């Protein structure tokens, strides 16, 4: 192992303690080594995992994936009802050769109209993966509202809890997709908010009946809080999409079991100096939270998982620990991989300590010729995370799976066109 150059040199002396073999189930693929392989290869593989084999060549992976696609899928999770509350919209997507300058007049290279909105995208992902989502939201009684509902129903989302208002307009978003930079710019027109009294008690109880998990995208905070309180009283776990600072989000986070954050949210919410210290601060401020994930686009994601306290564990600086994880990730892997620390006592100076483990997930390296649009990649990641929770996947399997689903969605225009179905050959290695 190459030594780190760090002012916290004591971390290096215990690095062998921090990284322990992850023990995936044998069916996950080639995680164990055959007898006769060198200890150096063993050390490399013990610290990184993927859905199957993170250190295999890309060509071998393609061959392996094709073979796996013929294998039967495992049964769906027994409890697979997912309830979501949040925004819906119609997306008008225009691709352009490059983003226009002020006062420019340009032509689009393509135009597409499809459903959007964080909750609509995430629950469409959930439905295509085989779960049974129910959506609480609001649209207007107009052509756009009708198309939103019809598209969701076509994908298997239960829309019977969506309020259709006689007033106002359904939400819509203009998206400009820059083909040169592969970025998108959104201009959103909201609709009328969903008020608490628009969700009747009987409808709420019906929506939550049999639910495995409840998902919020942070919209309609007053209504979301009432639904979250009812779910908490019924011991239904809650996942929050913490995309940005929003009114009422703090109250929802207090009730959350899981949080998936955008890259900027943890530091914006905690004012901590780094992402690792911000994640640690979130777990300290939110004692109910089991894990928090921050998504970082092509840089992958970082997860901090809380575990039971053990006073005998040694304290480790959480920033230095992330640096060690980065040294051990497989930069040559084309498919999503994962490297985890052992359970330890994570410390952030001036903030506190949390017992748990830090996990670094990588993103798929999408060839430039295949990358079309990143719209909805975060929603796809969340949808896959919801599936993983329902399927009781361990984090070292959850993170590569969610990254693979997000990458698949980036290969088509818009937030939903590229969402994979459960039978997609690209998904089979992660589900089998």
C-beta separation of 303 from 291 below 8 A: yes
Of 43-57, 226-240, 294-308, 391-405, the poorest mean pLDDT is in: 43-57
* Domain assignment of residue 351, yes or no: yes
pLDDT at residue 55 greater than cutoff 90: no
Within 8 A by CB and 6+ apart from 34, the residues are: none
pLDDT at 195: 97
How does residue 71 score in pLDDT terms, banded at 50, 70 and 90?
low
Residue-level pLDDT at 120: 97
Provide the 10 A C-beta neighbour count for residue 240.
26
Please check whether residue 404 lies inside any domain of the structure.
yes
In a domain, 185, yes or no: no
Residue at 99 is within a domain: no
Question: Model confidence over 270-282: pLDDT tens digits?
Answer: 999 999 999 999 9
**Residue 28 pLDDT exceeds 50:** no
Q: How far apart are alpha carbons 353 and 204 in whole angstroms?
A: 38
Domain count across the chain = 1
pLDDT at 182 over 50: yes
Q: What does the pLDDT average to over 389-404? A: 96
Higher confidence at residue 291 or residue 45? 291
Helix (H) or strand (E) segment spanning residue 355:
strand 352-361
What percent of the chain lies above the pLDDT cut of 70? 84
Answer yes or no: is 68 within a domain. Answer: no
Rounded to whole angstroms, how far apart are CA atoms 61 and 68? Answer: 10
CB 65 within 8 A of CB 425: yes
Residue 395 DSSP SS3: helix
Where residue 70 falls among pLDDT bands split at 50, 70, 90?
A: low
Question: What is the rounded CA–CA span in Å between residue 290 and residue 292?
Answer: 7
Let me know if residue 104 belongs to a domain.
Answer: no
CA dist 131 → 4, 117, 161 (Å): 44, 19, 17
CATH of the domain at 135: 3.40.1190.20
Q: Which residue has the higher pLDDT, 309 or 20?
A: 309
User: By the 8 A CB rule, do 248 and 270 touch?
Assistant: no
Q: Is 277 domain-assigned?
A: yes
pLDDT tens digits for range 325-358: 999 998 888 999 999 999 999 999 999 999 999 9
Q: Which residues lie across from 158 on neighbouring strands?
A: 134
Q: Residue 399 sits in which domain range?
A: 81-88+117-170+193-430
pLDDT of residue 73: 84
Write out 43-59 in H/E/C secondary structure.
HHHHCCEECCCCCCCHH
Q: What is the pTM of this model?
A: 0.84
Q: How high does pLDDT run on average in the chain?
A: 86
Cα–Cα–Cα angle for 37, 42, 46, rounded to 5 degrees: 155
Name the band, by pLDDT with cuts 50, 70 and 90, for residue 74.
Answer: confident
pLDDT band at 150 (very low <50, low <70, confident <90, very high): very high
Q: What is the mean predicted confidence (pLDDT) over 86-109?
A: 93
Is the residue at 256 inside a domain? yes
Check residue 273 and report its DSSP letter: S
């Amino acid at each position: 192992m190459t030594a780190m150059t760090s002012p916290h040199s004591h971390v290096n002396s215990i690095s062998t303690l921090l990284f322990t073999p992850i023990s995936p189930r044998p069916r996950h693929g080639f995680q164990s080594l055959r007898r006769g392989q060198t200890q150096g290869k063993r050390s490399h593989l013990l610290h990184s995992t993927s859905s199957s084999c993170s250190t295999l060549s890309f060509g071998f992976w393609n061959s392996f994936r094709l073979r796996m696609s013929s294998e039967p899928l495992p049964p769906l999770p027994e409890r697979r009802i997912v309830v979501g509350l949040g925004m819906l919209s119609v997306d008008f997507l225009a691709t352009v050769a490059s983003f226009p300058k002020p006062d420019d007049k340009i032509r689009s290279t393509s135009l597409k109209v499809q459903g959007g909105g964080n909750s609509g995208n995430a629950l469409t992902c959930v439905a295509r993966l085989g779960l049974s989502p129910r959506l609480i939201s609001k649209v207007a009684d107009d052509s756009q509202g009708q198309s939103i509902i019809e598209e969701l129903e076509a994908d298997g989302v239960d829309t019977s809890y969506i309020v259709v208002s006689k007033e106002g307009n359904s939400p819509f978003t203009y998206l400009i997709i820059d083909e040169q930079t592969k970025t998108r710019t959104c201009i959103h027109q909201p609709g009328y908010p969903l008020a608490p009294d628009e969700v009747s008690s009987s409808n709420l109880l019906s929506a939550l009946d049999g639910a495995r998990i409840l998902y919020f995208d942070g919209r309609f905070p007053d209504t979301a809080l009432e639904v979250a309180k009812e779910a908490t009283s019924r011991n239904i776990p809650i996942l929050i999409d913490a995309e940005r600072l929003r009114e009422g989000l703090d109250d929802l986070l207090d009730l959350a079991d899981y949080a998936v954050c955008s890259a900027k949210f943890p530091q914006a919410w905690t004012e901590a100096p780094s992402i690792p210290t911000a994640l640690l601060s979130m777990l300290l401020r939110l004692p109910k939270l089991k894990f928090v994930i921050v998504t970082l686009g092509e840089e992958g994601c970082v997860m901090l998982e809380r575990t039971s306290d053990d006073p005998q564990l040694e304290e480790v600086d959480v920033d230095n620990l992330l640096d060690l994880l980065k040294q051990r990730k497989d930069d040559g892997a084309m498919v999503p991989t994962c490297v985890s620390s052992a359970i330890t006592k994570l410390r952030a100076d001036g903030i506190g300590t949390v017992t748990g483990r830090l996990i670094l997930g990588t993103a798929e390296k999408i060839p430039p010729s295949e990358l079309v649009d990143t719209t909805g990649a975060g929603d796809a990641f969340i949808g896959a995370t919801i599936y993983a929770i329902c399927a009781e996947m361990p984090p070292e399997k959850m993170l590569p799976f969610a990254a693979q689903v997000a990458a698949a969605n980036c290969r088509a225009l818009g937030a939903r066109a590229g969402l994979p179905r459960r039978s997609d050959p690209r998904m089979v290695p992660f589900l089998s």
